[in-house]
Amino acid sequence: MDKEYVLQVAETAKNQLLATTPMNVVLSWGVEKFIATAFKEMPALKFKVNGRLFKGFVVVALNGSDYYEIYLVNYHEIKCVTDRAFYDQVGEIIDRAIESGTDKAEYEQFCQQQWYKLLIG
């Protein structure tokens, strides 16, 4: 796979992710180092996360149908979260998979507890 193409796709995916996802959400993932890579023969963006629900790597790969595929990768498994995401859905899908989950009330309660711990100690 052409290196320049991989770099271009990864940069575009990163820019789209950061432009469409609130910064406080991205920061809640504990993101480390964005990397351009090839994954399953697709150009991809890979980054390490330390989320509440998942710790490991997130891979955002551009498939041949111009959709993003999102994978969670750690030492135990490779899990495909979706194989059909539009650019403006990627952040929300990642957040649901690694940090907030599907129960909004439960996540809000968790956030309130964390806020309380920060304030009170």
pLDDT tens column, 14-69: 999 999 999 999 999 999 999 999 999 999 999 999 999 999 999 999 999 999 99
Answer whether 0.95 is exceeded by the pTM: no
What pLDDT is attached to residue 1? 84
Euclidean distance between CA atoms 35 and 116, whole angstroms: 35
In the predicted model, is pLDDT for residue 121 greater than 90? Answer: no
